Amino acid sequence: MVVGADDELVARLVSEHDRAYRAAWLVLRDKHLAEEAVQEAFLRVWRFRGSLPDGDAIRPWLYRVVVNTSISSLRHERPRREHETAADVDAIRVDDPLDALEQASIVADALADLPEHLRIPIVLRYWVGLSEKEIATAIARRPGTVKSRLHEARTRLSNDLRLAREEA
């Protein structure tokens, strides 16, 4: 069994698991893929625990690995997922009236429609709660790039959600 610092890391990973899983789910929109991506990310973090930063600095690093494994999964599973997503959107628009509960699904769909380079900063900023600087660390881009991507993502999400409400 692991002891000392390893115990702290395990405790931290366990406490972060739910948030990391839901972040991966927002990116992947698939329970099993999200679970696999997070487990793979946690295993990578564990293997490299000897070179991890201390304290809260671990979070951007941790989500960088989660982003990497999620993107790998996304690109590997893209053909199948594109088909499933289209079917889901049609079902919502044709069969079901809009209510408060389904708004969450529409938001999730709008997020899924964003390209990766906009979707991931949004998830890291508004779900995980990372700062722009931490997101820059997580996706290996400059803070200015993160800021412009967040702005563009917010604009596109606003337009998509407004259109969805109008259609409903």
Partner 1 sequence: MLTEDDLRELIDSAAAEAPAPTPLPEDLFRGEPSNVRPRRGRQLAIAAVVLVILGAGAAVVPGDQLPFLEQHIVGTGNGQDETVSAPTRGYGTAAGASASAGTGTGVGGGASQSVQPLPAPPADSPRIIKNGSLEILVGTGTVTESVNRLTALATGFGGYVSNSRTTASEQSGSQASALISVRVPAAAFEQLMGEASKLGEVQATTTSGQDVTAQFVDIDAQLTALTATRDQFLLVLGEAQNVNDILAVQDRITQVQIQIDQLEGQKRLLTDQTSFGTLSVTLLEPGATTAVPSVDDNKDLGDAWQDARRNFGDALENIVGASGTLAVVLLFGAATLGAAWMIYRRLRRRII
The residues of the shown chain that bind partner 1, judged by CB under 8 A, are 1-2, 6, 10, 13-14, 17-18, 21-23, 25-26, 31, 34-35, 38-39, 42-43, 46-51, 64, 67-68, 71-72, 103-105, 107-108, 111, 116-117, 120, 122-123, 126-127, 139-141, 154-155, 157-158, 161
CB of 94 to partner 1, least distance (A): 20
CB of 116 to partner 1, least distance (A): 5
In terms of CB distance, is 94 or 100 closer to partner 1? Answer: 100
Helix%, strand%, coil% for the chain, nearest 5 = 85, 0, 15
Query: The tokens of 125 are what?
Result: 């900023």
Name the nearest CA neighbour of 68 among 10, 120, 141: 120
- Do residues 2 and 11 make contact, with C-beta atoms less than 8 angstroms apart? no
CB of 26 to partner 1, least distance (A): 6
CB of 147 to partner 1, least distance (A): 13
Name the nearest CA neighbour of 122 among 69, 51, 67: 67
